[in-house]
Amino acid sequence: MAFNVETNFGQGKVFGRKLHNFPIFRYKKGANVIFCVAIGPTQVPQLPWKLIFNEKERPLLSNEKFGIYGGKFVPETLISSLTKLDYEFYSALHDPQFQMELEVALRDYVGRETPLHFAQRLTDYYKSINKGIGPDIYLKREDLNHGGAHKINNAIAQAMLAKRIGFKNVVVSTGAGQHGVATAAACAKLSLECTIFMGSLDMGDMERQPSNVLLMKNLGAKVKSVKGSFKDAMSEGIRYWVNNLDKTYFLVGATIGSHPCPTMIREFQTIIGKETRKQAMEKWGGKPHVLVACVGSGSNALGLFHEFIQDDHVRLIGVEASGTGLDSDQHSAAMARGQVGVYHGAMSYLLQDEEGQVIVPYSISVGLEYPGVSPELSFLKDKGRIEFSTVTDEEALEAYKRLCRLEGIIPSLEASHAIAFLDKLCYTLKDGEKVIINLSGHGEKDAAFVFNHTPNHE
């Protein structure tokens, strides 16, 4: 029911509706339409209001689900904390001061924008094995960010948000350690305490990523081992956060978990795609024909893809880790072999057995070892907007070495899965079509591991 109120924006009609536990109102004044959230008693006509966004920006209103995917599958005690985070996120997203500070941090601290590099020798290689025909291959160099990966885009933004809210302690879960390093760096810069949970020696994560463990500790973070892999570290991080809700900010780095986390992380990673669109226009005066990114949980993929979702003629291809093969039980291909399920507070495609128990994922790349995937990617898969394929351990290792030796660029094993997909992609494309690979991370962390898994160390 509409009713008249006097607000700090003036008089007008307000149409009540609710977003989670917050009263949200559509406030009309003349030809202008804005949205507000009540930050005081809602039972009296005199209300304090805080502007969130205008009618034109309404699509950015927090969507709890993507079709059937996403949501908040959590205990009632967590709903208020997640709802507050939702509100704080969207307030910051539309706060010019916060956005200006974030822009400065991304430019001067992270090192953006990152180059869109034409991989001439890699392009020539694929043309040479296909009668001189093949696409022009470009690499979006997220590996050149501070910290060596795309993870810092989200980490610095969320650390700023945590400080804005008033938190002094940040807790993190990490797999390959790239998110851990990024968050440890951001917390050091912003004078925040940082605790990081990481898979233990029993499952190998800390053994496979020793350089990242040392970096996190050197940056002042407390690194705690958890028996298992990233999924177990994520579970432990959630438990720690639940027991310290009032004083700890849980800084998620993957597009997983309960709402608003998947949306928030994707939003902070969209700088990748926005830059890519601009750089493509500068380099060849158009859009790319194909975008390719590896997919573990999906943060780097959505960071690149989201800007182009409405461009139907731009192919979007996500590459999962098929490990030792899809017919084995040693893979991390939730899109290829998963079924719809709920894990870590959200619904998505999930690796699970006939009884609904989560299957332990495997990949030579620690950062791709997660049994679930982004709710938004799950939705876009069902819609047919994103194609998904897989790459084995062996193919990823070969791609790692190929890029090193042809371009002098060292990719992470995660990004090597996207590079390896070129073997299947290039011969299907017309000569001169533009392909962009998201080089999501640097491979220095993987160098010793790759060397030790190369026959005769060749």
| Mean residue pLDDT across the chain | 87
The matching CATH number, chosen from 3.40.50.1100, 3.90.1200.10, 3.30.70.3270, 3.40.190.100, for 115-148+270-457 is 3.40.50.1100
How many Å apart are CA 345 and CA 237, to the nearest integer? 13
Structure tokens at 27: 């406030």
pLDDT above 80 (res 68): yes
How many Å apart are CA 417 and CA 394, to the nearest integer? 10
CA distances from 346 to 248, 357, 386, 408 (A): 21, 15, 20, 40
Query: What pLDDT was estimated at residue 453?
Result: 80
Tell me what the mean pLDDT of segment 415-419 comes to.
98
Nearest to 185 by CA among 128, 125, 145: 145
CA distances from 141 to 123, 207, 273, 281 (A): 16, 27, 12, 17
The matching CATH number, chosen from 3.40.462.10, 3.30.420.40, 1.10.287.40, 3.40.50.1100, for 70-108+150-266 is 3.40.50.1100
pLDDT above 80 (res 456): no
Q: Which residue has the tokens 């956005």?
A: 99
pLDDT above 90 (res 6): no
State pLDDT tens for residues 120-154: 999 999 999 999 999 999 999 999 999 999 999 99
State pLDDT tens for residues 438-453: 999 999 989 988 988 8
Query: What pLDDT was estimated at residue 228?
Result: 85
Tell me what the mean pLDDT of segment 49-59 comes to.
38
pLDDT above 80 (res 190): yes
Query: What pLDDT was estimated at residue 13?
Result: 40
Query: What pLDDT was estimated at residue 62?
Result: 52
Nearest to 46 by CA among 82, 3, 2, 88: 3
E strand or H helix that includes residue 132:
none
pLDDT above 50 (res 25): no
State pLDDT tens for residues 334-347: 999 999 999 999 99
Higher pLDDT among residues 19 and 396, named by residue: 396
How many Å apart are CA 374 and CA 379, to the nearest integer? 9
Lowest-pLDDT range of 38-42, 141-145, 382-386: 38-42
pLDDT above 60 (res 71): yes
Q: If DSSP states are collapsed to H, E and C, what string results for 337-380?
A: HCEEEEECCEEEEECECCCCCECCCCCCCHHHCCCECCHHHHHH
Q: How far apart are the first and last CA of the chain?
A: 74
How many CB atoms within 10 Å of residue 450? 18
Tell me what the mean pLDDT of segment 346-368 comes to.
94
The ranges assigned to domains in the chain are 2-61, 70-108+150-266, 115-148+270-457
Q: Tell me whether the CATH fold assigned to 70-108+150-266 matches the one assigned to 115-148+270-457.
A: yes
Query: What pLDDT was estimated at residue 27?
Result: 46
